[in-house]
Structure 1
Amino acid sequence: MRNAPIQRILNKLKRHSFYLGGDQPHVAWVERIRSVFGALIGLMLVLTIAKYLGELSGLDEWLMASLGASALLVFALPQSPMAQPWAVIAGNTLSALVGITVIHLSNGPLLAMPLATSLSILGMFILRCLHPPAAAVAMIVVLGHVMHYRYAFFPVMVDSALLVMAGAVYSNLTGKRYPNRPN
């Protein structure tokens, strides 16, 4: 009888635990370490190559800030449709192109940021390349006032392709199939 109030409180807490991540699936520690180590190796490799390519071509921009979010999808959720090569590469590249175009056509960031982001989402729907970090690429382009279309190809497209390649090699070496292959 004394435990009834405590049990009610515990039941209420359990019912609302999704607010604190209770709806997240359990992930084994081996998989957590595999994902974290993959993201570390993959990002180090991509950033090293991109920095070298930037120095080789004399460009200061060799990194896109949303690459970390793309790495989470590629290394931790390699089976997700949003982590597949087309989604990562096309989604990021398209969003950069949209963001740059919006900057050229818009007068201020208060309109340009939501316009670039929403139009990049529309473009990703049309091209079937939904990749959540790509929506951030559009905003990053506007915030950084990137005016050159070259940025969409280097670093955005090149970094995305390098990340996908690193993800494919690492995942397949560690027993995860990536990219998804249709049956």
Structure 2
Amino acid sequence: MKPAFKTWAFYFGGDQPKVPWFERLRSAFGALIGLALVLALAKYLGDLNGINEWLITSLGASALIVFALPQSPMAQPWAVIAGNTLSALVGITLNHWIGDPLIAMPMAAALSILGMFCLRCLHPPAAAVALLVVSGHVLHYRFAFFPVLVDAALLVMAGAIYSNLTGKAYPNKPQ
């Protein structure tokens, strides 16, 4: 029989793999540099075009996956870019069709997940994009392309440059 401590420790992170400090710092510093560059570029592009929305908050979660888990299928460019963009499009469409956010929000997340499965672009933070769009009452399809698609593409580019400079292959190469 397992000691009670081991059983409970599992539920408090005991199932997480041990990660060397160098890798922890490499991932955190990459997210810092990558997000700073993405946000600065997106803000600049937004200012150029007179657009105030230049940031999607779920980008932080996407950065964790891209910089800390670059080999994950959910960190690959298609997953990050298509998953986020699809989810924004689903949320915006539901804002036009359904007036009640209590119905539209779970539907947006569920339909985004279904769409990501169908398009083979599963990216967990993208489901949050669908919720963000519905809760923010976003009605303009432009939002799916700027900031969502642009932010995701910039993050993938920053992730590719940083990962390859620090010895991690990203994106995955076809087998």
Q: CA deviation at 1:17?
A: 1.3
Give the partner amino acid of 1:70.
Answer: S
Task: Write out the 4+ residue segments of structure 1 that deviate beyond 4 Å after TM superposition.
Answer: none
- 2-side partners of 1:42 and 1:95: how far apart? 22
> What is the count of residue pairs matched by the alignment?
175
Give the partner amino acid of 2:56.
Answer: M
Query: 1:28-80 deviations in whole A, cap 9, x for unaligned?
Result: 00000000000000000000000000000000100001000000000000000
Identify which of 24, 30, 39 aligns with 2:31: 39
| Residue 102 of structure 1: aligned partner | 94
Cα RMSD of the aligned pairs, angstroms, is 1.0
Identify which of 129, 153, 158 aligns with 1:137: 129
The runs of 5 or more residues in structure 1 that have no matched partner are 1-7
Query: 1:71-112 deviations in whole A, cap 9, x for unaligned?
Result: 000000000000000000000000000000000000110000
Sequence identity (%): 74
- 1-side partners of 2:107 and 2:85: how far apart? 17
| Residue 116 of structure 1: aligned partner | 108
Please say which of residues 11-20 and 135-144 is displaced more in the overlay.
Answer: 11-20
Identify which of 56, 61, 67 aligns with 2:53: 61
Identify which of 60, 74, 80 aligns with 2:72: 80
- 2-side partners of 1:121 and 1:95: how far apart? 8
The runs of 5 or more residues in structure 2 that have no matched partner are none
Q: CA deviation at 1:26?
A: 0.2
Give the partner amino acid of 1:61.
Answer: E
Please say which of residues 13-22 and 81-90 is displaced more in the overlay.
Answer: 13-22
Q: CA deviation at 1:12?
A: 1.6
Give the partner amino acid of 1:173.
Answer: L
- 2-side partners of 1:34 and 1:124: how far apart? 29
Give the partner amino acid of 2:61.
Answer: A
- 1-side partners of 2:55 and 2:7: how far apart? 43
- 1-side partners of 2:93 and 2:10: how far apart? 40
- 2-side partners of 1:169 and 1:151: how far apart? 26
